[in-house]
Amino acid sequence: MKVALDQITASPTPLRYHEEAAALNARLHEGTHARDDFRFPQGLAADLEHYRAGLDVVFEGRIAGDAEGTCARCLEPYAFPLERDVHMVLVPRAAVGAEDRDDDVDLGFFEGEEIDVTALVAEYALLTLPTIPLCHEDCRGLCPQCGTNRNVRPCACVEEPARRAGGLAALAGMKIGHGSGGK
């Protein structure tokens, strides 16, 4: 969805539409930070308003819909609701100096004669997704030996004690005795 700048006035104007799944999923998986763990199977509902504040353009409202993730522990797909308030101030890129380009989440830039609202909705949706996708907090995951999903059925594998890794791993097997030098 794109909105022409000449259609954005100082009065708040409603913008209610359904962002299609294909557009959101394409944005979600593009670039170097591809997020294959998440999808938007039905797209998202966008209930927004836009208006001008001087040269700036403001978008406010809410996005909502269902998302689908792949659990990081058991690799099963799971659905969850996604809702987020949107508040974004877009500043003309030409009016901003290099020192003013802050990493403020609610500040963006535009150039040209139209604003890509799909990019705005996709950005807010991405910021709403969990960092580690889990079907539920107490997910038991897959057995590291046989691959059985422990949420579905137990496996007969004997768990090995966790091996220590890292810079101090060499100290794990060290025996400390009580020598004559200590109290």
pLDDT in tens, 34-45: 457 899 999 999
Burial class (CB in 10 A: 0-12, 13-18, 19+), 24: buried
Segment 82-89 shows an average pLDDT of 94
CA atoms of 83 and 134, how far apart (whole Å): 18
Domain span at residue 138? 1-183
Host H or E run for residue 58: strand 56-70
Q: What is the pLDDT of residues 98-153, one digit of tens each?
A: 555 555 556 788 888 999 999 999 989 988 999 899 999 999 999 988 889 999 99
Number of domains in the chain: 1
* Helix extents (H) in 53-93: none
Q: What is the pLDDT of residues 5-61, one digit of tens each?
A: 899 999 999 999 999 999 888 887 776 454 578 999 999 999 999 999 998 999 999
pTM metric for this prediction:
0.73
- Whether the CB-CB separation of 139 and 71 falls below 8 Å is answered with yes
Given a cut of 80, whether residue 183 has pLDDT beyond it is no
Instruction: Calculate Rg over the CA atoms of the chain.
Output: 25
Given a cut of 90, whether residue 75 has pLDDT beyond it is yes
Check residue 141 and give its pLDDT: 93
